[in-house]
A and B are shown apart, each in its own frame.
Chain A
Amino acid sequence: MRKPLNSITFMAIFFFIFAATAYAGDLDLFKDLSGTLNIAGGTAHIKCETEAIKRIMRAYPDVNITIAGGGSGVGIKQVCEGLVDIGNTGRAPTPEEISRCNLKVYKFAVDGIGVVVNPKLNTDNISKENLKKVFAGDITNWKTLGGSQGSINVYTRDAESGTRKVFWSKGLEKIKIIDKANFVPSNAAMKTAIANDPQGMGYISLGVADSSVKLLAIDGVSPSTENVKSGRYEIARGLYINTRGEPSPLAKAFISYMLSPEGQALVKKHGFLPVK
C-alpha cells in the first residue's frame, strides 16, 4: 500500500517541479518589471500576441499590456509619434520609415498570405494568371474558374495594410485591383466577410485563417507552413515588431519573450513560421 502512494507522490512532485520550471522559464524575462506596454498596428499579429500577453499578465499582474489593430500603416504611424511603445507591421518598414522614426526592427515570425474563399466552393486551386485576372476584374464569374455559375465578389484591404502591400506585389504583381472590390479593415474582418459570402474571394494572413474559410493553392502549391518555409509558396512576409529608438525594459522583455522558445512555440501554434 505504501509503495504506489510514494511513487504517486514522487510523480506529483516531479511534475510540479517540471511544470513550474517550464512555466516560469521564458516568462522570467518579466521578473521585477511593472508598468504598461501599448501595442498597435498589424492585424495578423493580434491573435498570437494576445495569447502571449495573457500568459505574461497572468504570471505578472503588475505588468499591463494592451494591444490594438489598425493595420501596418497605423503601427508605423503610432510608434513613430510615440503614441504606442510597439508598432506591429506585416511588412518590413521602408528605409525611409526606419530613418525618419529611428525604428528598431525585430522580425519574430514569417507568415504566408493565402487566397481565401468560402468553404462551400468546390474549387481548391487557382492559377496565378487567373488570380490576377480576378482581382483585375477580367474574370468575374466562378464558372470561368471551373465552379458553378455565379459572380465573384472580390474583397481587398485598404492601401496601408501590410497584408495588401505584400499580396499586391508578390501575388498580383502590382496590377490594378478593380474599383468594385469591397474593402475590409482587418484580417479578422476579411475572415468574417469570406466566411459569410459563398461567392467571395479575398486574401488573408495564414495565421488568421481558420476552418470557417478555405485557402486556395496557387498553381498547385498549397499555402502550408512547409511550402512557405521551403519558399515554394512565394506570397509570404515577415511579421515585425518595431520600437522607436531602443525599446523600454518592458518592450525589450516582450520582444525577447516573442523570440524565446516559448514565444516561438506560440508563433508556430498560430500558423506562422518561427524565425529561430
Chain B
Amino acid sequence: MIAKHNKERAAKGALSLALLIAGSISAFIFFFLLYFSLPILSSGLIGEFLTRGWDPDRGVLGILPMIVGTVYIAGLAVIWVTPIGIGLAAFIQLFAPKPLGRILRWTVEFMTGIPTVVYGFAALFFLVPAMRRIFNYGTGLSVLTASVMLALLVLPTVTLIAQDGLATVPSNQVLAAFSLGASRMETFLHVVLPGAWRGLISAVVLGVGRAVGDTLIALMLAGNAVALPDSLLDSARTLTAHIALVSAADYESLSFKAIFVCGLVLFIFAGSNIVFLRLVEKLKK
C-alpha cells in the first residue's frame, strides 16, 4: 500500500516537473521576446510599426505587409483545407469501406512526416510554372500558390484531429440512426456532426496555428515581396518568412529588433489560439 503510494507520488512529482519545465520555457520565450521588443514597443514607434511598410534603407520599419501577407496566405490555406480535411475525415470514419478507410488514414498519417521543404521544392518545379501558365500573370510565386501548398501541409493535422473528433460520437447513437433507416449522409448530418462539432473546431483552429507558424512554404513559394498584395496572384511575405529573411541583420540594428516584435505578434496569436480552444472545450458543459 505504502509502496504504491510512493510510486504515485513519484509519478506526480515527475509530471509536475515536466509541466513546470514546459511552462517556464514558454514563459521564458514570451519574456525574452518582450524584452527584445522593448526598444520598439517603448519608443512610441509601435503604431507606425504595425501600420507601415518595410524599407530599412530609408529607415522605415513596418510590418503591415507581413501581417497582411500572413492573414492572406494562412487564411486562404484554411479556407481550402477545412472542407477537404473534414470531408476526408468523415469519409474515412463513416463512408469508406473499412480497408479503404484504413489505407487513407495510413496515407494521411504518412503525410505528417513529409518535411516541409520537400513540398516547397516540388511545388517550385511543378506548381509555380503551372500557376504562371494558367493565370498568365506574374511569376507564379504568389499568395495563391503558397496557400495551396500550405493547405496540403496542414491537411493531415486537420484530418486526423477531425476524425478523432468524429470518433467521439458514441457508436450506439450512430447504429441507432442506421437502424431507424437513416442513410449514411443523414446519419452524418444529423447525428455525427452535431455531436462532434467541437472536435471539428479544434481541428480547424490547430490547422490555423500550423498554417500561421509554417515558414518554409511561404519563403519558397510566396515570392516575399514587401509590397501589400493587390491580388491573390501577387507576391507577398509572411511574418515567419520575414523573420527568416531579416535574421541576418546586425544585432545592433533596429531591423534585427523588429524581428522580435514579429515573434511577439506570432506568439500572442498562438496564445489566443489556445485560449479560444479552451473556451470551445468549456462550451461542452
A contact residues vs B (CB 8 Å cutoff): 70-74, 76-77, 151, 153, 158-161, 174, 176, 178-185, 192-193, 196-197, 199-200
Contact = CB atoms under 8 A, between A and B. Distances in A.
B120 to A, nearest CB: 11
A212 to B, nearest CB: 13
Contact of A179 (B125, B137, B226): B226
B219 A185 contact: yes
Contacts of B137: 151
Given A77-B250, A159-B56, A197-B132, A182 B141 contact: yes
Given A179-B226, A183-B225, A153 B245 contact: no
A179 B219 contact: no
A180 B234 contact: yes
B58 interface: yes
Contacts of B139: 153, 182, 193, 197, 199-200
B248 interface: yes
B53 interface: yes
B53 A179 contact: yes
B258 to A, nearest CB: 12
Nearest to A177: B57
A146 to B, nearest CB: 21
A196 B250 contact: no
Contacts of B138: 151, 153
B50 interface: no
B129 interface: yes
Given A159-B57, A160-B248, A176-B57, A183 B124 contact: no
B111 interface: no
B249 A73 contact: yes
Contacts of B65: 179
A180 B225 CA distance: 5
A64 B244 CA distance: 28
A179 B249 contact: no
Contact of A196 (B128, B219, B249): B128
A158 B248 contact: yes
Nearest to B65: A179
A222 B107 CA distance: 53
Contacts of B58: 176
Contacts of A178: 227
A71 B225 contact: no
Contacts, number: 74
Interface range for B: 20 to 34
A159 B246 contact: yes
B140 A71 contact: no
A197 B140 contact: yes
27 contacts: A70-B248, A71-B248, A72-B248, A73-B249, A74-B248, A151-B137, A151-B138, A158-B248, A159-B56, A159-B255, A160-B248, A174-B57, A176-B55, A179-B55, A182-B225, A183-B223, A183-B224, A183-B245, A184-B224, A185-B219, A185-B244, A185-B245, A192-B124, A193-B141, A196-B124, A196-B128, A200-B139
B225 A77 contact: no
Interface in B31-65: 53, 55-58, 65
Contacts of A182: 139, 141, 223-225, 235
B237 interface: yes
A184 to B, nearest CB: 8
B251 interface: yes
Residue of A76, A182, A185 with most chain B CB atoms under a 10 A cut-off: A182
Interface string B178-207: 000000000000000000000000000000
Contacts of A180: 225, 227, 234-235
A228 B138 CA distance: 33
Contacts of A199: 139
Nearest to A199: B139
Q: Which 3 A-B pairs have the closest CB atoms?
A: A73-B248, A183-B224, A179-B227
Residue of B65, B137, B141 with most chain A CB atoms under a 10 A cut-off: B141
B225 A179 contact: yes
Given A160-B248, A183-B223, 11 more contacts: A73-B248, A74-B247, A158-B248, A161-B248, A174-B57, A176-B57, A176-B58, A182-B139, A193-B139, A197-B139, A200-B139
Contacts of B244: 185
Interface string B236-259: 010000001111111100010000
A130 to B, nearest CB: 20
B220 to A, nearest CB: 8
